[in-house]
Amino acid sequence: MRTMMVTTGLMGPMYSILKANQDWLIDHGVPAHDASYFVGRTYLSVIQDAEFNCQDPTRFDELIKEQTPGGLNEQALQNLEYLGLIEAYRAAMDAMLSRLEGSSDGFIRTSNQE
Is residue 62 in some structural domain? Answer: no
Asked whether 14 and 22 are in contact (CB, 8 A), the reply is: no
Q: What is the pLDDT of residue 110?
A: 79
Whether 3 and 46 map to the same domain: the answer is yes
Is residue 27 in some structural domain? Answer: yes
47-66: b (≥16 Cβ within 10 Å) or e: eeeeeeeeeeeeeeeebeee
- Structural domain including 78 reads 67-107
pLDDT at 114 over 60: no
Q: What does pTM read for this prediction?
A: 0.86
Whether 40 and 13 map to the same domain: the answer is yes
Integer Cα distance of 114 and 99 in angstroms = 17
Q: What is the pLDDT of residue 112?
A: 66
pLDDT 10s digits, 30-72 = 999 999 999 999 999 999 999 999 999 999 999 999 999 999 9
pLDDT 10s digits, 88-112 = 999 999 999 999 999 999 999 876 6
Domain count, the chain: 2
